[in-house]
Amino acid sequence: MKGRLFYLFSGIILVITLLDILSKDKDISEIENRKLQNKPKFKTEDYINGNFKDKYNKYLDDQFIFRDEFITLKGVSEKLLLKKENNGVYFGKDGYLLEKVLEVSDLKIENNIKYINKFIENNNLKTSIMIVPNSFYILRDKLPIKAKEIESKEIIDKIYKEVDKASSIDLIKPLEDKKDDYIFYKTDHHWTTLGAFIGYKEYLNSLGKEAITLENFKEEKEFNFLGSYFSKSKNIFIEPDIISYYDFNNLEIFIDGVKKESLIDKDYFKGRGKYSAFLSSNNKLTKIINKDLKTNEKLLVIKDSYGNSLVPFLTQSFKEVHVVDLRYFDESIKSYIKENNISECLIIYNLINFTRDTSVVKLIY
């Protein structure tokens, strides 16, 4: 009997190994909504510093056959076993999925603060900074009992205190006042369009300007959105989100130099990454001109993906909005500001991304 079991399991392992070797590599995991590691090219310097080994191990993990199926099975089993989390995501109350964050890098925070201060010093530009708290803080009453998280308010207060030459847009109270509204997606790490609109209003108020009212524009909706937290937790029992958006038609739009008809790329609604419809996902440079406004105000927005759903509202209050994502932008920021006669700047990051982003250093180039 033992011999038969040995041969059976050996045969299963052999079949899986052969299928794994013969299977074609995937570029994207639909269920995780992210790019997968492809087979790395061998480079001597990568081998010496250990990067090749890390990349190859990541490649083996990402390209393992039946990977998506195993991830889904684990997520289902964790939920059925009444676990309160899976893969760094809490199963919260009222159908919310909330990221588990127990620590952040103090060094990255200090460095990014230093880079922003140097950017302000180098450019003599009216600058505002908006650090958006994540859903796990604003909606902390949705967390499971005894769930632990970092103290977001203390970290944001520290950032605002040390970036002392910028106007700080504190969103904690405005978002907490609306926490019973749909301001964060249940299955994704982004704020909703309503959450972004709150951020827009607070920024306009800080400038002494009047914000637009949504009642004057048509709201459109896209259903069945399952975002990044769903992809990580695989909680198949969760209800999908709804994306609302406003497709302003008074704009001239250029994304990475290519003219676009809309800030909402509806092709993304056909796939899993529906939030990427805002600004056609993350791009190095987006330039938007409001054809109706008579002012000459030019705003530079330096942002992570939280800014993507905020920018459409900003286009209704500034003649030109120039949007830079430092993860992809490799030109000199200082030169760009000078060449385009930028009058003011908004730096917007969600808190967790600000504590992890290594591209903020490009501000000083």
The pLDDT of 250-273, averaged and rounded, is 95
83 or 243, which is more confident?
243
Confidence at 95, pLDDT banded by 50, 70, 90: very high
Check: CB of residue 197 under 8 Å from CB of residue 216. Answer: no
Burial label, 200 (beta-carbon count in 10 A; 0-12, 13-18, 19+): buried
pLDDT at 60: 52
Most confident of 37-46, 82-91, 225-234, 311-320: 311-320
Q: What is the pLDDT of residue 33?
A: 47
**What does the pLDDT average to over 321-331?**
96
Q: Which of 331, 350, 310 is nearest to 197 (CA)?
A: 310
Mean pLDDT of all residues belonging to the chain = 86
d(CA 176, CA 227): 22
Of 32-36, 226-230, 341-345, give the lowest mean pLDDT range: 32-36
Average pLDDT over residues 15-21: 50
Percent of the chain beyond pLDDT 70? Answer: 78
pLDDT of 20 reads 47
Q: Locate the domains of the chain by residue range.
A: 2-65, 99-364
Distance set, CA 107 to CA 138, 345, 356 (Å): 25, 25, 10
pLDDT at 57: 59
Structure confidence at residue 16 as a pLDDT band (50, 70, 90): very low
- To 10 degrees, the CA torsion angle through 242, 247, 253, 259? 80
pLDDT in tens, 201-221: 999 999 999 999 999 899 999
What is the separation, in whole angstroms, between the first and last Cα of the chain?
69
The pLDDT, as a whole number, for residue 272 is 85
**Residue-level pLDDT at 71:** 61
Residue 51 pLDDT grade (very low, low, confident, very high; cuts 50, 70, 90):
low
Phi/psi-derived region of residue 208, left when phi > 0, alpha when psi is between -120 and 50, beta in every other case: left
- Distance, CA of 58 to CA of 178 (rounded, Å): 41
Both structure tokens of 151: 């103290």
CA distance 339 to 356: 30
Taking only the tens place, the pLDDT of each residue in 118-136 is 999 999 899 999 999 999 9
Q: What is the pLDDT of residue 231?
A: 87
Q: What is the pLDDT of residue 40?
A: 65
Residue-level pLDDT at 147:
94
**Mean pLDDT of the region 31-40:** 56
HSE toward the beta carbon, residue 137, CA cutoff 13 A: 22
Per-residue confidence (pLDDT) for residue 282, from 0 to 100: 93
Higher pLDDT, 184 or 27: 184
pLDDT category, 229, cuts 50, 70, 90? Answer: very high
pTM of the model: 0.82
Q: What is the pLDDT of residue 11?
A: 52
Give yes or no for residue 5 having a pLDDT over 70: no
Q: How confident is the model at residue 316 (pLDDT cuts 50, 70, 90)?
A: very high
CA dihedral 180→186→188→193, nearest 10 degrees, is -40
Taking only the tens place, the pLDDT of each residue in 270-293 is 988 999 999 999 999 999 999 999
113: CB partners within 8 A, 6+ apart:
159, 162, 163
Residues in the chain: 365
Give the whole-number percent of the chain exceeding pLDDT 90: 71
